[in-house]
Amino acid sequence: MDQKRVLLIVGGGIAAYKSLELTRLLRKAGVGVRPILTRAGSEFVTALSLSALAEDKVYSELFSLTDEAEMGHIELSRSADLVVVAPATADLMAKAANGLAGDLASTTLLATDKPVLMAPAMNVRMWEHAATQRNLSVLKADGVSFVGPDEGAMACGEYGPGRMAEPAAIFSAIMAALGGGAKPLAGKRAIVTAGPTVEAIDPVRMLTNRSSGKQGYAIASALAALGAEVTLVSGPTALPAPAGVKRVDVESARDMLAACEAALPADIAVCVAAVADWRPATAGEQKIKRDGKAPDAIALVENPDILATLSQGKRRPKLVIGFAAETNDLDAHAKAKLARKGCDWIVANDVSVAGTMGGDDNAVALVTKGGIERWERMAKGDVARRLADRISQEFK
């Protein structure tokens, strides 16, 4: 960890005192800490305390001649391996979600090309407010990671979620983000498919499936965090490639299969993509004109089944996992799919539950030849980490 550096933005909240302890833990582990203290933050902790613990200068002003001469804010934003915001106040989250850049902290967040981890801290009502929850979704979709908030008694006398995570928990999240955790999948190669596929009807029209790609991207990221060398074969999504993952962009199911086969040999394959089962038999090179009437029909042909092809191929990865999006009879359909595709596990989810498709949470059941294990509803990131852990146990 001696070479690693964190840029720590300390926002204005009573939890700012915990960031002093966090700084101490990081320094003890040999991680460099360069602090930015917002004006509101300086109402709660002093620049002197932060500087003494960080053993570095504290940056506060966007328009400081001395600071800019030493290190411009753009350089500052890229001077670390990870940007940590603790406490991440409602105000800082709102600024970051909307791309505002009116002070040093928000400008740094907008200018950085490094991963960002936020530890929110605020009053429970502020946390639960629709505006904060909206900002949270936007930030997650932009690739920001979160630790906490915890639930409990708050300094303002109320009770609920909003307390900043404890310094030890933020420290662990930072170590994991910096790659300091255990690497049980080091040396293993994984292929993950994600997102929808797009099948052209003509140059302007297409057949596709609903899929945000969130679950597949989270799995690719979780496998990479455990040391796997991950190729993420992705249909069109609005998501950034997770850190440390090789992303191959594709459109059609046939392209997705070809990209997966090109990534073989692999030890693990996780097929999360919502592949279009059919494609138009002939994708015209010219736009189909309206001509006053709709075409009678669009003839469809079947697409290759990527999961089945990988499961039954000569170069089969040791562990092949499929997903099953079902709207009814989850268990029966998932078991049948396991047998039909020839894969080892099926992660089944009930997409009839509102908010699953495109949402941030997922309730899944893991179906193996040994039986069905139901997991409680949790964030897609947590489903991914738990699945990655289970995968790593197969390679012990």
Residue 156 designated active-site: yes
Q: Which stretch binds ligand CTP (CB under 6 A): 65-73, 76-84, 157-165, 316-324?
A: 316-324
Q: Which has the closest alpha carbon to 43: 7, 17, 8?
A: 17
> Does the protein bind ligand CTP through residue 307 (CB under 6 A)?
yes
> Does the protein bind ligand CTP through residue 222 (CB under 6 A)?
no
Out of 277, 350, 382, 394, the only residue in the binding site for ligand CTP (CB under 6 A) is 277
Q: Is 349 left (phi over 0), alpha (psi -120 to 50) or beta?
A: beta
Over the range 266-289, which residues count as b (16 or more CB within 10 Å of their CB) and which as e?
Answer: bbbbbbbbbbbeebbeeeeeeeee
Asked if 197 and 252 touch (Cβ cutoff 8 Å), the reply is yes
Residue 306 CB, shortest distance to ligand CTP, in Å, is 3
> Does the protein bind ligand CTP through residue 306 (CB under 6 A)?
yes
Residue 373 CB, shortest distance to ligand CTP, in Å, is 17
**Distance, CA of 237 to CA of 92 (rounded, Å):** 27
- Could you tell me the CA-to-CA distances from 106 to 9, 54, 136, 208 in Å, in that order? 9, 21, 16, 37
> Does the protein bind ligand CTP through residue 275 (CB under 6 A)?
yes
Residue 393 CB, shortest distance to ligand CTP, in Å, is 21
Residue 12 CB, shortest distance to ligand CTP, in Å, is 45
Out of 86, 154, 325, 384, the only residue in the binding site for ligand CTP (CB under 6 A) is 325
The residues in 157-216 that bind ligand CTP, with binding defined as CB under 6 A, are 193
Out of 67, 91, 305, 360, the only residue in the binding site for ligand CTP (CB under 6 A) is 305
Out of 6, 36, 165, 253, the only residue in the binding site for ligand CTP (CB under 6 A) is 253
Judged by CB, which is closer to ligand CTP: 74, or 262? 262
- The string of DSSP letters for 10-70 reads E-SSTTHHHHHHHHHHHHHTT-EEEEEE-TTGGGTS-HHHHHHHHTSPPB--TT-HHHHHH
> Does the protein bind ligand CTP through residue 271 (CB under 6 A)?
yes
Out of 97, 273, 383, 384, the only residue in the binding site for ligand CTP (CB under 6 A) is 273
Count interface residues toward ligand CTP (CB under 6 A): 16
Strand, helix or coil at 362?
strand
Query: How do strand 378-379 and strand 361-362 relate by DSSP bridges?
Result: antiparallel
Q: Which stretch binds ligand CTP (CB under 6 A): 14-22, 27-35, 138-146, 318-326?
A: 318-326
- The string of DSSP letters for 69-136 reads HHS-HHHHHTSSSEEEEEEE-HHHHHHHHHT--SSHHHHHHHH--S-EEEEE---HHHHHSHHHHHHH
Q: Which stretch binds ligand CTP (CB under 6 A): 48-56, 78-86, 198-206, 302-310?
A: 302-310
Q: Which stretch binds ligand CTP (CB under 6 A): 67-75, 230-238, 273-281, 293-301?
A: 273-281
Query: Tokens standing for 101?
Result: 């850049």
Q: At 111, which amino acid appears?
A: A
Asked if 9 and 83 touch (Cβ cutoff 8 Å), the reply is yes
Q: Which stretch binds ligand CTP (CB under 6 A): 14-22, 83-91, 233-241, 265-273?
A: 265-273
Q: Where in the sequence numbering do the catalytic residues fall?
A: 156
Which residues form the interface with ligand CTP (CB under 6 A)? 193, 253, 271-273, 275, 277, 303, 305-307, 322-325, 337
